[in-house]
Amino acid sequence: MAVNGLLQKGPGGPLVLIGGAEDKDGECRILREFVRLAGGERASIVVITTATRLPGEVGEAYRRVFLRLGAGEVLPVHLDSREKAGDPCHAAFLQRATGIFFTGGDQLRISRVLGGTLSERSLKAASLGGVAIGGTSAGAAAMGEIMIAGGRGGRSPGKNTVKMAPGLGVIGGVVIDQHFAQRGRIGRLLAAVAHNPHVLGIGIDEDTAIIVTPDGRFNVLGSGTVTVVDGRTITHTNASDLHPQPMLALTGATLHVLPQGYGYDFKSQKPYSPGSSF
Q: Which residues are catalytic?
A: 137, 179, 206
Distance CA 258, CA 95 (A): 34
Report which secondary-structure segment, H or E, holds 209: strand 208-213
Distance CA 189, CA 186 (A): 5
In DSSP terms, which residues pair with 116 in a beta bridge? none
Which of 102, 117, 126 lies closest to 50, judged by CA? 102
| Rounded alpha-carbon distances, angstroms, from residue 184 to 6, 70, 181, 203 | 26, 35, 5, 10
In DSSP terms, which residues pair with 162 in a beta bridge? 151
Distance CA 32, CA 40 (A): 9
Report which secondary-structure segment, H or E, holds 97: none
Where would I find the H helices in 160-238?
Answer: 186-195
For the sheet containing 200-204, what is the strand order? 174-177, 200-204, 225-230, 254-259
Contact 111, 82 (CB under 8 A): no
